[in-house]
Amino acid sequence: MNEHNQKHLTLSNRTYIEQELVQDSSFKSIGNVLHKDPTTISKEVRRYRKQVRGKSVSGNCNSCKYWDNCQVRGDDFEVSSCPRSSYCHNLCKRCWREHTQHYCRTYIPFNCDKPSHFPYICNACTYEADCRINHYIYQASFAQKQYEKNLVKCREGINLTPEELDSLNELISPLVLKGQPLSHIFAVHSDEIPVCRRTLYNYFDQNVFKARNIDLPRRVRYKRRKKRSEPRKKNIQQIYRNKRTYTDFERFIEAHPDIDVVEMDTVKGGRAAGKCLLTLLFRSCNFMLVILLPNCTQKSVVNAINTLSDTFGIRIFKKYFPVILTDNGSEFKNPWDIEKTESGTHRTYVFYCDPYVSNQKGRLEKNHEYIRYVIPKGRSMYKYTQDDISLMTSHINSTARDSLNGATPFNLAELLLDKKIPLLAGLKKVSPDEVMLKPALIETSNNSKEDAHE
């Protein structure tokens, strides 16, 4: 151990201090063994000493300085002034003093000066067990508990000045109220935020900001998923899955490790049939395309893929959409028309995840959460246009991610994808502080259109 190390005292250190205090050791000798300054031991003893109640209540006769050698008898008291003299005049001196000690002319309270100077406690005192007055002792277990309480208490509250807290509130709250996750805020403003993310969550718990926990997108608890008693049975007679299973996909990727993969799925609004979203995510950069479909059918999906192929050109489509991984939804059960153009030219390979194993395309499922921030589950999409969906997609792709080390999908797409893809898809990069992931994003846009139409 280094001389006068800066580590806190442990329970074993405190146990050693207690043992040495019983032997009336000096603070210096204790400090030498523990490699602590004597003042550290002194502060430890005074801070965590425990008060013990004496065997007599203050004012009783046995708290008198002369109690052990008292020779006073009943005749030496002012009997006439005693309210109980009629029946206690002839009692023994101890019983007499229990009733009339405040009338005793020789009564002097006993005082001990040990608590006020070294050793500040009575561990080494031979009379400690029978002490008649309140006194102090040092116990290692009690001191450790008090130390742990202080350790927690000193970290409570806000470790910022009022001015710093107001400045942080002005920075954080407007961004959170726009629906921005803290990961995005930290990625953009890490140099301006004086605390870590964990501390910031604690501040939200203490309601010190204008924004509250309910404004944070993921500050919720998830319900525990029910486990099925029996595993689902797979339908092995599905022709569309022939040579397109997830096992086939893994073999294909193993044979072509450098090939790009696009995950595909749909996002529905209300339960009623109507408009839905077709989502495509580039695994390499988490960049997502979202297309508004008139309905969730095979024909709508094939038409959307054909439109993408025509818009980007067959060369770009074949280069950046070589493999499409999707689930077993009924709208995707026509892989033949997805894989080939209307003229019969092969343009991509389609593979299917295992039934009820959504984590096999987990990146896209994760990105769907951002869509639900703007279009909550159960909300109909009948009033939305492709421009509204493109605006939402632009904001989602401009959101920084922890999984991308603080970068945005737009940043990586500029490096890994053809520049025509975002441009032709109608997507524009959004300034970090302007990112909004709230329903108001496209509702405001719709209201503006209605006002302009009127």
pLDDT at residue number 93: 44
Q: How far apart are CA 290 and CA 265, in angstroms?
A: 10
Q: How far apart are CA 38 and CA 419, in angstroms?
A: 70
- In 3D space, the residue among 261, 299, 314, 298 whose CA is nearest the CA of residue 283 turns out to be 261
Name the residue type at position 221.
Answer: R
Q: How far apart are CA 265 and CA 278, in angstroms?
A: 6
pLDDT at residue number 132: 73
Distances in Å between the Cα of 388 and the Cα atoms of 391, 396, 397, 437, 448 are 5, 13, 14, 13, 12
For residues 27 and 20, the answer to whether their CB atoms sit within 8 Å is no
For residues 103 and 78, the answer to whether their CB atoms sit within 8 Å is yes
pLDDT at residue number 269: 83
pLDDT at residue number 229: 59
User: What number of helices (H) and strands (E) belong to the chain?
Assistant: 18, 7
pLDDT digits (tens, 9 = 90+) for 249-302: 999 999 999 999 999 999 998 776 789 999 999 999 999 999 999 999 999 999
Name the residue type at position 278.
Answer: L
Q: Domain map of the chain by residue range?
A: 11-153, 162-215, 239-453
What is the DSSP code (8-state) at residue 220? S
- Below-50 pLDDT ranges, the chain: 1, 57-59, 73-97, 99-102, 236, 452
pLDDT at residue number 53: 84
pLDDT at residue number 304: 95
Q: Say what the pTM is.
A: 0.68
| Phi, psi values for residue 151, rounded to 5° | -65, -40
Which residue matches tokens 């689902």?
Answer: 232
pLDDT at residue number 225: 63
- In 3D space, the residue among 441, 297, 427 whose CA is nearest the CA of residue 370 turns out to be 441
- In 3D space, the residue among 302, 328, 359, 301 whose CA is nearest the CA of residue 236 turns out to be 328
For residues 309 and 339, the answer to whether their CB atoms sit within 8 Å is no
> Which CATH architecture describes the domain 239-453?
2-Layer Sandwich (3.30)
- Whether the ω angle into residue 119 lies within 30 degrees of 0, i.e. cis, is yes
Contacts of 198 (CB under 8 A, 6+ apart): none
- In 3D space, the residue among 238, 244, 312 whose CA is nearest the CA of residue 282 turns out to be 312
pLDDT at residue number 89: 41
CB atoms within 10 A of CB 408: 25
Provide the token pair at 279. Answer: 């989502």
pLDDT at residue number 118: 86
What is the DSSP code (8-state) at residue 109? B
